[in-house]
Amino acid sequence: MQTHEIRRRFLDHFVKAGHTEVPSASLILADPNLLFVNAGMVPFVPFFLGQQTPPYDRATSVQKCVRTLDIEEVGKTTRHNTFFQMAGNFSFGDYFKEEAIAFAWSLLTGSVEDGGYGIDPEKLWVTVYLDDDEAFAIWRDKMNVPEARIQRRGMKDNYWSMGIPGPCGPCSEIFYDRGPEYGVEGGPEADEDRYIEIWNLVFMQNERGVGISKDDYPILGPLPKKNIDTGMGVERVAFLLQGVENVYETDLLRPVIDKAAELTGALYGDKHEDDVHFRVIADHARTAAMLIVDGVNPGNDGRGYVLRRLLRRIVRSARLLGADRPTMAEFMAVVRDTMAPSYPELATNFARIETVAVGEETAFLKTLGTGSKLFEGAVDAAKAEGRTVLGGTAAFTLHDTYGFPIDLTLEMASEAGLSVDEDGFRSLMAEQRQRAKDDARARKHAHADMTVYKELLDRGPTEFTGFGELVTEAHVLAVITGGERLHTATAGQKVELILDRSPLYAESGGQIADIGTITGPGLKIKVDDVQKIAKQLWTHKVTVVEGQVTEGDAVLVQVDPEWRKGATQGHSGTHLVHAALREVLGPNAVQAGSLNKPGYLRFDFSWPGALSEQQKQDIEVVTNEAVAANYPVNTFVTDLDKAKKMGAMALFGENYGDEVRVVEIGGPFSMELCGGTHVQHSSHVGTVTLLGEQSVGSGVRRVEAYVGLDSYRHLAKERALLAGLSSTLKVPSEEVPGRVESLIERLKAAEKELEKTRAANVAAAAGGYAGKAQRVGDLLVVADAAPEGVAGNDLRTLASDVRGRLGSEPAVVLLLGNTEGKVPFVVATTKAAQSMGIKAGDLVASFGPAIGGRGGGKPDMAQGSGSNPSGIPAALDAFRARLSELAG
């Protein structure tokens, strides 16, 4: 059963049981205690604590999770993943232990035909908290689990919390028995390698305090309600249902390992050291892609440092496996292809994922090239002096000059048989931080007085006049550059101007700033941008075109009227689209961000999946019906409580004071809290054309649209494009889609025929190679170059076919490809040759150096790749010479 199917069955099971399906939250939440979301229940914590009222009594989700405490263990064992998916069902004061246990048991043991996982109940063991007699009795009496397969465990194992103050409670875990070949009898208490935990049912009823370990913290008291929080490990259930050895063998991670084998020439399963590197690549590539798509960028601290570390471990592992060129783009593409069915944002945002990951790889490859030489020199020096510790100064230089994270230095030193003077390293780091602080203080005294804005704020906020007029008389309060008061500026200078009044809108609430001019006698200034300081002070970023501006000058400030017209169209259009989304999709389609500017709007909203074509059409129709209705646009100021009672909606990410401005379009059609500029009637927005809809994060979708003249220009361009296609295809415009679809089908059919022809040619070539077999002692030998372009599975198939045509005699086949500067190869042996002690994997060493290649495999077949096509003749000669030795 594929992992995506496991996820779907879980959600369907609980939706049928009355749960609301909740999309996975982002891995990044505004919680100062958490670097990443590390458990499925994290997004629901405010509900468990009673801080917020949940909009549902029971919910289900498959939550993205990342845990990074065990990064060093990834790959060394098959039990650690940094990214994983936690499927859960949650009750907020609704049902409790008996129902939760029954829900889990029925899904795990229910038949596949009925939507279950079809697990044999005899394979399942359960654990309960020491004194939880109620849970013990439910398992025994209601689920009919024998007492011998129910074990009581202590607080460390069966009392759950997030590891920080918050909700907690006793839990009951479900384990799967993999069989005697994986360990000793005796249940989870005896062996957790044989008995794998797959589900944890937390009976969340208490709140914990601060503690230092899993079983050393105070219980502060009961929660407002008894809740259920469960977590089923999707990856663990997947490897059990797919009949593979571990999570790295499943359908989501094995393809990354296979790609790494293809790119490096190494073989997974050949030796433990290489297997560790393969698993590091598979795990970290997936985690990195998921972090990037949720907005994390590589950096030197916090989340950014974790991402950087993951990406750099991928690069280094690939190099250690034999990669001699960049590999990151291909790893990320495999992650996209395997994970996108559940997380479509990986596909829609792949350009950003690839750019971030490849950029970090490029930078780190340079780091490795120079820093590794320094590291190797330091290691050689230490060993020559008989030391077993790499000095702190060397570690600091690697970090400070070459960007080596200390974790990488520790890892490389360990591989070289050395430890690192971490205390010395951290002492030098502390000295560097102190120097940076001293330097910052020196610069502050030498340059601008950074209190300049505070002094201006003390005079009161900027008076914004732009709601009622586009031209305002004002006075210049300050001329600033780089935080320093200049008092005056002349033609050619770019400065900031602080005015007492301004009609120019300062960027906020998704609306970008106005542009315009500031003029006076002999003075002309171009306003490029307007921003807010402390939400009160307008700072105008300007270029002085003519004359001189001085503090105290009286000036005339004017908004570009065409710009403002387009800006109001875009902003009012955003409100109309928001209202249309809620009318078509329902009240759960709430705003999650926006951007509007002249002629264009972008709107992000919470929604669990892609919109259908019909939904997109309906949204566009409702929006344009509101435009045609010519609704009046009214604005008024009231207090926040009254606005909320009226049903006014708050904008994403905006903080409000006691008094708020309400923008009302068409009475109940749209009412939002908004400080932006708007049209006077909805018809002034003009036609709204949706450009598309996409995912921008888990549970967040984005629509984009043109408005006004930009909408007309877009539609005109589309009309011209359709007319061109109609003319080229010689069909009426309404038949263009059908004709294009027909052409695509014909193209696909032609490609299939080409593929059949290519496969037939490969098969036909086998006879020719078999006919050229040479006798070397008692061996038949085929050693030759494959047809140009043949590689991968085709090369393997060809070698196997040639071997089959050589009959039962002792025979060995070597075929060397030449594809884009790479030399893929396959060695195949017959059973008779193997009985003579000739093994395919052992033969690689005889010819591999000539082509700069490496590889391996089993006695009957081995494969790999080299990087030196010019060495093919020498490789063939070396191979034949080795077989002559073996044949006597």
pLDDT mean over 772-798 = 86
Residue 405 sits in the same domain as residue 489: no
Pairing of strands 124-129, 591-597: unpaired
State which amino acid sits at residue 278: F
What is the C-alpha radius of gyration for the chain, rounded to an integer number of angstroms? 34
The CA distances from residue 323 to 278, 368, 505, 676, 864, in Å, are 12, 13, 54, 54, 12
Place of tokens 């654990």: 127
- Report if residue 395 sits inside a domain: yes
Query: Whole-angstrom Cα distance, residue 881 to residue 812?
Result: 13
Weakest-pLDDT range from 368-372, 458-462, 754-758: 368-372
Summarize the annotated binding site for Zn(2+) as residue ranges.
571, 575, 674, 678
| Residue, of 464 and 391, whose pLDDT is higher | 464
HEC readout, 190-210: CCCCCEEEEEEEEEEEEEECC
pLDDT band at 402 (very low <50, low <70, confident <90, very high): low
**Average model confidence (pLDDT) across the chain:** 88
Residue 127 sits in the same domain as residue 213: yes
Are 320 and 233 within 8 A, CB to CB? Answer: no
| Residue, of 526 and 807, whose pLDDT is higher | 526
- Report if residue 111 sits inside a domain: yes
The pLDDT, as a whole number, for residue 401 is 61
Read off the pLDDT of residues 292-346 as tens digits, 9 standing for 90 and up: 988 887 877 788 888 988 998 999 899 889 998 999 999 999 999 999 999 998 9
pLDDT band at 697 (very low <50, low <70, confident <90, very high): low
- Report if residue 317 sits inside a domain: yes
The pLDDT, as a whole number, for residue 447 is 26
Residue 103 sits in the same domain as residue 209: yes
Query: Whole-angstrom Cα distance, residue 682 to residue 619?
Result: 16
φ, ψ dihedrals at 187, nearest 5°? 75, -175
Statement: residue 417 has pLDDT above 90: no
3-state secondary structure of 165: coil
The pLDDT, as a whole number, for residue 534 is 67
CA dihedral 705, 706, 711, 715 (to 10 degrees): -40
Query: Whole-angstrom Cα distance, residue 538 to residue 54?
Result: 40
Residue 106 sits in the same domain as residue 230: yes
Query: Whole-angstrom Cα distance, residue 810 to residue 387?
Result: 54
- Report if residue 194 sits inside a domain: yes
The pLDDT, as a whole number, for residue 784 is 92
Read off the pLDDT of residues 633-655 as tens digits, 9 standing for 90 and up: 999 999 887 887 888 876 543 44
The pLDDT, as a whole number, for residue 35 is 86
Query: At 619, which CATH number?
Result: 3.30.980.10
| Residues 6+ away with beta carbon under 8 Å from 295 | 26, 28, 697
- In order, the DSSP letters of 546-579 are ESEEETT-EEEEEE-HHHHHHHHHHHHHHHHHHH
Please identify, among 244, 268, 285, the residue that sits at the C-terminal boundary of a domain. 244
- Structural domain boundaries, residue 466: 452-559
The pLDDT, as a whole number, for residue 519 is 96
Query: At 859, which CATH number?
Result: 3.10.310.40
Are 440 and 474 within 8 A, CB to CB? Answer: no
The pLDDT, as a whole number, for residue 403 is 60
pLDDT mean over 653-667 = 76
Read off the pLDDT of residues 591-644 as tens digits, 9 standing for 90 and up: 877 899 999 999 988 776 789 999 999 999 999 999 999 999 999 999 887 887
- Report if residue 738 sits inside a domain: no
The tokens of 502 are what? 């301004």
- Report if residue 375 sits inside a domain: no
Residue 360 sits in the same domain as residue 275: yes
Residue 472 sits in the same domain as residue 615: no
Residue 280 sits in the same domain as residue 364: yes
The pLDDT, as a whole number, for residue 571 is 94
Statement: residue 37 has pLDDT above 80: yes
- Report if residue 721 sits inside a domain: no
| Residues 6+ away with beta carbon under 8 Å from 441 | none
Are 553 and 523 within 8 A, CB to CB? Answer: yes
| Residue, of 132 and 30, whose pLDDT is higher | 132
Statement: residue 282 has pLDDT above 90: yes
pLDDT mean over 436-458 = 50
The tokens of 466 are what? 């732009």
* pTM across the whole model: 0.51
Residue 394 sits in the same domain as residue 458: no
Query: At 74, which CATH number?
Result: 3.30.930.10
The pLDDT, as a whole number, for residue 180 is 94
Degrees, nearest 5: CA angle 413-316-370: 75
- Report if residue 752 sits inside a domain: no
pLDDT band at 450 (very low <50, low <70, confident <90, very high): very low
Closest CA to 714 of 725, 722, 706, 704: 706
The pLDDT, as a whole number, for residue 186 is 94
The CA distances from residue 516 to 278, 562, 699, in Å, are 58, 10, 39
Please identify, among 711, 728, 743, the residue that sits at the C-terminal boundary of a domain. 711
Residue 13 sits in the same domain as residue 97: yes
3-state secondary structure of 87: strand
Statement: residue 545 has pLDDT above 50: yes
| Residue, of 32 and 139, whose pLDDT is higher | 139
Pairing of strands 20-21, 659-665: unpaired
The pLDDT, as a whole number, for residue 441 is 43
Read off the pLDDT of residues 65-85 as tens digits, 9 standing for 90 and up: 998 876 777 888 777 789 999
Degrees, nearest 5: CA angle 405-408-412: 145
Query: Whole-angstrom Cα distance, residue 536 to residue 790?
Result: 68
Please identify, among 186, 212, 244, the residue that sits at the C-terminal boundary of a domain. 244
Residue 96 sits in the same domain as residue 232: yes
The CA distances from residue 255 to 351, 416, 719, 830, in Å, are 20, 31, 43, 29
Summarize the annotated binding site as residue ranges.
571, 575, 674, 678
pLDDT mean over 494-519 = 93
State which amino acid sits at residue 498: I
The pLDDT, as a whole number, for residue 440 is 37
Residue 189 sits in the same domain as residue 64: yes
Query: At 458, which CATH number?
Result: 2.40.30.130
Read off the pLDDT of residues 819-869 as tens digits, 9 standing for 90 and up: 888 899 999 999 999 999 999 989 999 999 999 988 888 899 999 999 999
The pLDDT, as a whole number, for residue 377 is 81
The pLDDT, as a whole number, for residue 707 is 94
Query: Whole-angstrom Cα distance, residue 67 to residue 86?
Result: 12
Residue 51 sits in the same domain as residue 189: yes
Number of domains in the chain: 6
Statement: residue 439 has pLDDT above 60: no
The pLDDT, as a whole number, for residue 264 is 94
3-state secondary structure of 182: helix
Query: Whole-angstrom Cα distance, residue 234 to residue 256?
Result: 18
Read off the pLDDT of residues 731-771 as tens digits, 9 standing for 90 and up: 888 888 888 899 999 999 998 888 787 777 777 788 888 88
